[in-house]
Amino acid sequence: MDILTTDISSLSFKIVKEKVDEININEVYNSEELIEIINILKSDKRKNINNLGDKLQKAKEKIENEIKRVRNMYNFDKSFENYNIIAGVDEVGRGPLAGPIVSCAVVLDLNVIDEDLILWINDSKKLNERKREELASIIKEKALAYYIASRDSKQIDERGIGVCNNEVFLEACNSLKVKPDLVLSDGYTVKGIQIPNKSVIKGDTKSACIAAASIVAKVYRDNLMREYAEKYPYYGFEENVGYGTTKHIEGIKEYGPTEIHRMSFLTNILSNN
C-alpha cells in the first residue's frame, strides 16, 4: 500500500488509480491502513481522486455488511445449541424434464473467525454461474465433510420423483465422513432418517450449511448437464439444464426423447406431438 508512503498530489489520476486497483479489499477491509488510504484519497484536491476514496469506502462497507449477513447464517446453524455437528442438505433438479435429481449434504465448521467465513453463500439460484463455481470449490475445500448423491431419469421413472428426492437426501446425509448430530433440510423433513432432523423454510437463505449444500449440488448438476449437451446437442441442455424451455420441448418433438429424459414427465408433450 505505497499510497501511504507516497505524496499522491504529484501523481496522475491514472497512476493513483492503478495503485488503488492493486488493493485486495477482501484482505485489508478491517485494517487501519485502509482507513488511512481512504482519508488520503478523500483529502486530495481532485474530484476524481476523491471518487476513488468513495469507491474504496463502499467496497469496505460491502464486505462488512456481507460478513454480518453470513455470520447470521452461521449463527442460525449454531442456534441449535444441543447439537455440536450440523449438516445442511438440499437438492437440485426436482422439476426438469431430463437429467438426474442431485442432493448434497455439507458439514461446515461453524466456529470460525470472520476471516474464515465463506462469504457470498446464498440460495444458489441467486448467484451467477461464475460465483457458484468459485464458491463450490471453496466450500469443498473448507467443509468438514460433504457428499453428493443422485438418482437418474430411469430411477425417477421407476420410483417417482418424491421417492428419489428423499433417497438422495438420505444417502447424502448418511454417507458423510463426519457424522452430524443434526441435519437441517431445506423445506421439509427427510423421511426415515435416523439422525435428528429439522426442516427450514427457505433454508438456503437462512442456514450456512444448507446454502453451501445448495451451491455444491447445483454446480455438480449444471456441469453434468453441460456434458450431456455435447452428447445430445438438440435440446439446449447447456442453457436450460433439463428444464422445459421452448427450445427443449421443440427438440423433444423433433428428435424424440433421449436416454436421460424422464418419460414420466413427458406424457403431455409426447401425446401432443
- Average pLDDT for runs of 10 along the chain of length 273: 75 84 83 86 87 89 94 96 94 97 98 93 93 97 98 97 97 97 95 97 96 98 97 96 96 95 92 69
Q: Where in the chain is the domain with CATH 3.30.420.10?
A: 86-221
**What pLDDT does residue 134 have?**
96
One-character DSSP codes across the chain: -GGGGS-GGGS-HHHHHHHHHT--HHHHTT-HHHHHHHHHHHHSS-HHHHHHHHHHHHHHHHHHHHHHHHHHHHHHHHT-TT-SSEEEEEEE-SS-SBS-EEEEEEE---S--GGGS-TT---GGGS-HHHHHHHHHHHHHH-SEEEEEEE-HHHHHHH-HHHHHHHHHHHHHHT-SS--SEEEEESSPPTT-SS-EEEETTHHHH-HHHHHHHHHHHHHHHHHHHHHHHHSTTS-HHHHTTS--HHHHHHHHHH---TTB-GGG-HHHHHT-
Q: Would you list which residues are annotated within the binding site for a divalent metal cation?
A: 90-91, 186
**What pLDDT does residue 39 have?**
86
Q: Would you list which residues are annotated within the binding site?
A: 90-91, 186
CATH superfamily label, 86-221: Ribonuclease H-like superfamily/Ribonuclease H (3.30.420.10)
